[in-house]
């Protein structure tokens, strides 16, 4: 019976896949419209859903990997808005996808079609998430190669001629001489149909083009010039270069069986160049320490000794004015490792408290739904405690409802009576609080009697309240309607979004308090007025003067001059009045009693009054002042209490501030907008990935006891420094910049690599390789970058690939990792290739460095290739195109301001972020590295000699060894 059941389920899934790939006509429901009829279908590779007709053409798709969940029936907001549609719930379903929880609401013509799609999508989601990493990468690569072939086959005859191949080479960022392309074409063209390549022949051609010269040379150096590695030679490579311990013959045999593509090589137990390439580009050779994928730090110290992953306005999917509030955002951030989430509570209709961003037009969700979602997802990925930052704006009656819901839904998770802190003057540890939910909020003062059911508490530190003069409360009796106001604001936000897309993704301005009038509530108010009766010229002039104020951080002055003097009259014109802050609010006993170890206290001067369990809240502007004026006192305070830093109210676009200054003084709860992608969230992800992504990372010992000045030129004189030595070797299949105006038709990129160290101010610096001209497919840099790091425990290492342009640079890709998570040996930086890292005390890192194509990894395909076609000719037919042995003529990224100031700062220069950009390795003066093929003339480097040299470098030091890197 079990066998019959399995067979039946498989046949059902096969029918689902067939129906989905054939396509189904469904109604796509959209806000403000009656719905659009479209044909939805699953692509042949089962990786994405597409629909037609669509103006977006290629972009009209949803990748299966991006789907968060599929819900049945009429559960989404849009379905509720279309109540008059009277749709059959059994024909309705919603797909939640993307980082911002976008919704696709669909209606089928009958329940059977809806059931087919729901079943099929859930199967695909489960299958992809459970799939082995290597198998998934290979499947993705195979699909990508097939798709590339089909797109290059313009006439659809299943064959590619030489001209189609040349066009494809340009699209793939390859600039090889036509004679080399023709040579590879002829070698791959082995069937009777001469002059064209079918898919199998194209796969062989693609392998020839993709073979890695640098990896082939590495293989030769350990194989005694043979084109394969034996078990013993592979073991020697793993021990000497990869610094692996306990390498057994069984482990090496397993590598050969898993990664080798030639059956002949598998039988002989040897690893050829294709298998070696597959292994070197697999997760086994990633730069990230696999031990850090699990919790490995001491979790028995007080809460204040940990950095805690924290979210701001968790419920929002986008900006702070108009975006949707969704309970799914709580599920997403909790599963992403966030442990401190924010819940803004307001009075709702029918006595039901709601969650939304007050004094704005964001949508509302029920508090009860939020609590149920938190309860469901809080401890799925890890059991360490979750902190609920409750921002209470409710009446006493609805506060009691909030307390009631939390008790009913969270149950024993709120019971902290059994938690023992050990020392009553210390906070409990994450280990002792496992499975618990802490409520961060206001607590009634001890001066009130125990029988008092309510009392007054300060409202001065409410982390999400908009500044006094910028709170908007609509009243439509004598002015603009809500629709008009929303239209004005939406127009403004769209211009902000467009501007942010044009801005450099690494623009340092995005880490300050958005030095833009356009990003303030006051600015929006001004803009609303100007849209009505002020000419464009006047707007530009006004913006410039106010931007000047903001750029100088004159926040309070600007607030007074802009909001107070002009906003009031403008808002009256639009029928909007300002709400005034209440200095105190009433708090009910039931809600107060739920607060135990996380009592929110008003922002004030940093003092040590001996009490525990307080959480001091700062806006980023106030925290910035505290860091600048009292860094050491701030650090001492954070050794006993928790501090939360949240974004300025002016960040209406949900941009993020630079968290480094606050981490550097030990602030635990640095709250960021998780819904906003970009540099800051990449830094946050790298920081918390170091301890199994559990949301808790132990602070360095120096931050937990004693103190130091993080702004000092030598903050820790007693601690040994580390040296990071990175040898950037090569890249592979770097895509064209994502925002390239010409897309695939654009010029072949001229890539260079920038490495940035991010940590204490003294450690913050950047360095970069030279530019390789016209090669995005397989560039070779062979260049070493060296960095000295005073506090490696908190340092982050950021790898970036740029496309050099005569008038600037274009962002290609990045990866950010914690310094402590780097491992030694030849390593790839995914989604980049190989980097060699060596760590001398001063820890060193040499590396190879490569990047995958936009849509997939670039492993070689599984089809067999004749050894004669690869091994014998690889050195003369490689696509690596080693950089020319000449000094670099192009100037990488050195800003004019840096060049101008070089006289006063001869050694190091600071960019707009205050980050040192080293000039001792000037691009103009830096000699070009030796072309790889010269190794064949002067002899390959001896691994034994290199090891001896490394040992000599470590003679008087105590640091660990780090890797050699390959860019993927």
Neighbours of 325 (CB within 10 A): 21
Residue 296 is among the residues annotated as catalytic for this protein: no
The 8 Å CB, 24+ separation contacts for 417-423 are 421/302
The strand ranges marked E within 567-676 are 576-578, 584-588, 599-601, 614-619, 642-646, 669-672
Sign of the Cα pseudo-torsion (581, 584, 590, 595, in order): positive
CA 358 to chain centre: 28
The strand ranges marked E within 318-477 are 340-346, 354-355, 365-366, 386-392, 437-440, 454-458, 472-474
Q: Provide the β-strand partners of residue 618.
A: 645
Residue with tokens 């190669």: 145
Residue 312 is among the residues annotated as catalytic for this protein: yes
**Which of the following is catalytic: 82, 100, 141, 356?**
356
Report H helices in 131-272.
133-152, 162-171, 178-188, 199-210, 213-222, 231-240, 249-259, 263-267
CB-based burial, 363-386: b 16+ in 10 Å, e otherwise: bbbebbbbbbbbbebbbeebbbbb
Query: Is the CB of residue 209 less than 8 Å from the CB of residue 878?
Result: no
CA 813 to chain centre: 11
DSSP string, 104-156: EEEE-SSHHHHHHHHHHHHHHHHHHHHS-HHHHHHHHHHHHHHHHHHHH-TT-
Question: Of 874, 796, 785, whose CA–CA distance to 836 is shortest?
Answer: 785
- Number of H helices and E strands in the chain, helices first, is 29, 36
Phi/psi of residue 7, nearest 5 degrees: -60, -40
- The span from the CA of 813 to the CA of 799, in Å, is 8
- The span from the CA of 218 to the CA of 285, in Å, is 14
Helix (H) or strand (E) holding 826: strand 825-828
Neighbours of 250 (CB within 10 A): 9
Exposed / middle / buried, residue 567 (Cβ in 10 Å: 0-12, 13-18, 19+): buried
**Which of the following is catalytic: 82, 100, 312, 357?**
312
Which amino acids are annotated catalytic? 312, 356
């Amino acid at each position: 019976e079990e066998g019959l059941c399995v067979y039946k389920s498989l046949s059902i899934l096969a029918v689902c896949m067939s129906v989905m790939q054939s396509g189904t006509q469904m109604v796509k429901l959209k806000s403000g419209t009656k719905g659009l009829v479209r044909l939805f279908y699953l692509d042949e590779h089962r990786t994405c859903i597409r629909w037609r007709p669509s103006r977006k053409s290629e972009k009209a798709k949803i990748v299966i990997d991006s789907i968060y969940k599929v819900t049945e029936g009429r559960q989404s907001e849009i379905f509720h808005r279309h109540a008059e549609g009277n749709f059959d719930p059994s024909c309705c379903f919603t797909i939640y996808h993307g980082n911002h929880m976008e919704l696709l609401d669909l209606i089928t013509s009958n329940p059977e079609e809806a059931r087919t799609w729901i079943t099929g999508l859930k199967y695909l989601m489960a299958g992809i998430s459970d799939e082995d990493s290597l198998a998934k990468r290979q499947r993705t690569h195979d699909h990508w190669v097939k798709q590339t072939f089909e797109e290059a086959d313009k006439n659809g005859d299943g064959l590619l001629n030489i001209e189609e191949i040349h066009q494809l080479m340009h699209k793939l960022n390859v600039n090889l001489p036509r004679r080399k392309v023709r040579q590879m074409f002829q070698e791959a063209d082995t069937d009777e149909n001469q002059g064209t390549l079918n898919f199998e022949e194209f796969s062989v051609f693609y392998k020839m083009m993709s073979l890695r010269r640098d990896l082939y040379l590495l293989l030769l150096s350990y194989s005694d010039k043979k084109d394969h590695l034996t078990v013993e030679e592979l073991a020697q490579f793993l021990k000497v270069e990869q610094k692996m311990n306990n390498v057994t013959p069984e482990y090496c045999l397993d590598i050969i069986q898993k990664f080798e593509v030639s059956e002949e090589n598998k039988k002989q137990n040897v690893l050829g160049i294709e298998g070696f390439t597959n292994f070197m580009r697999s997760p086994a050779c990633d730069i990230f320490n696999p031990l850090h994928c699990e919790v490995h730090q001491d979790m028995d110290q007080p809460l204040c000794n940990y950095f805690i992953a924290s979210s701001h306005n968790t419920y929002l999917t986008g900006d702070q004015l108009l975006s949707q509030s969704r309970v799914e955002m709580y599920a997403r951030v909790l599963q992403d490792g966030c442990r401190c989430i924010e819940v803004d509570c307001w009075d709702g209709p029918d006595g039901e408290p709601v969650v939304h961003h007050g004094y704005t037009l964001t949508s509302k969700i029920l508090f009860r739904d939020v609590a149920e979602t938190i309860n469901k997802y809080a401890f799925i990925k890890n059991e360490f405690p979750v902190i609920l930052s409750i921002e209470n704006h409710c009446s006493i009656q609805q506060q009691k409802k909030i307390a009631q819901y939390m008790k009913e839904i969270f149950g024993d998770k709120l019971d902290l009576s059994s938690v023992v802190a050990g020392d009553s003057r210390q906070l409990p540890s994450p280990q002792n609080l496992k499975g618990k939910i802490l409520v961060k909020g206001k607590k009634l003062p001890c001066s009130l009697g125990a029988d008092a059911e309510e009392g007054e508490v300060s409202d001065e530190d409410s982390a999400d309240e908009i500044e006094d003069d910028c709170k908007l409360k609509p009243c439509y009796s004598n002015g603009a309607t809500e629709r008009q106001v929303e239209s004005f604001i939406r127009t403004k936000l769209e211009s902000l979004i467009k501007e942010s897309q044009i801005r450099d993704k690494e623009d340092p301005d995005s880490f300050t308090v958005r030095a833009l009038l356009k990003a303030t509530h006051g600015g929006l108010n001004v803009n609303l007025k100007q849209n009505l009766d002020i000419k464009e010229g006047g707007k530009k002039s006004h913006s410039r003067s106010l931007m000047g104020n903001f750029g100088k951080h004159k926040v309070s002055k600007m607030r007074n001059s802009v909001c107070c003097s002009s906003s009031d009259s403008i808002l009256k014109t639009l029928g909007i009045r300002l709400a005034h802050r209440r200095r105190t609010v009433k708090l009910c006993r039931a809600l107060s009693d739920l607060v135990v170890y996380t009592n929110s206290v008003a922002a004030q001067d940093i003092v040590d009054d001996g009490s525990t369990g307080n959480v001091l809240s700062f806006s980023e502007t106030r925290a910035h002042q505290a860091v600048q004026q009292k860094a050491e006192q701030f650090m001492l305070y954070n050794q006993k209490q928790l501090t939360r830093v949240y974004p300025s109210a002016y960040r209406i676009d949900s941009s993020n501030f630079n968290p480094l200054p606050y981490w550097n003084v030990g602030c635990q709860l640095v709250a960021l907008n998780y819904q906003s992608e970009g540099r800051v969230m990449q830094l946050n992800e790298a920081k918390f990935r170091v301890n199994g992504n559990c949301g808790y990372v132990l602070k360095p010992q120096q931050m937990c006891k004693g103190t130091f000045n993080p702004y000092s030129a030598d903050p820790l004189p007693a601690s040994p420094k580390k040296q990071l030595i990175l040898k950037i070797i090569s890249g592979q299949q770097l895509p064209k910049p994502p925002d390239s105006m010409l897309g695939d038709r654009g010029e072949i990129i001229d890539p260079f690599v920038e490495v940035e160290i991010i940590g204490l101010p003294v450690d913050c610096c950047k360095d970069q390789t030279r530019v390789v001209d016209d090669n995005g497919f397989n560039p070779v840099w062979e260049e070493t970058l060296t960095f000295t790091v005073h506090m490696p425990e908190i340092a982050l290492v950021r790898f970036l690939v740029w496309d050099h342009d005569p008038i600037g640079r274009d962002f290609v890709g990045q990866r950010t990792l914690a310094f402590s998570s780097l491992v030694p040996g030849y390593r790839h930086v995914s989604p980049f290739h190989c980097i060699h890292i060596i760590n001398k005390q001063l820890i060193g890192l040499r590396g190879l460095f490569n990047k995958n194509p936009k849509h997939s990894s670039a492993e070689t395909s599984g089809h067999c290739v004749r050894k004669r076609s690869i091994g014998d000719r690889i050195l003369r037919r490689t696509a690596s195109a080693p950089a020319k042995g000449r000094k670099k003529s192009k100037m990488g990224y050195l800003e004019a301001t840096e060049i101008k100031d070089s006289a006063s700062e001869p050694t190091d220069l600071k960019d707009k972020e205050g980050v040192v950009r080293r000039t001792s390795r000037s691009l103009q003066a830096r000699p070009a590295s030796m072309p790889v093929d010269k190794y064949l003339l002067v002899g390959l480097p001896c691994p034994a000699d290199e090891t001896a040299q490394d040992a000599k470098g470590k003679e008087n030091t105590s640091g660990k060894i780090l890797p050699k890197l390959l860019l993927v």
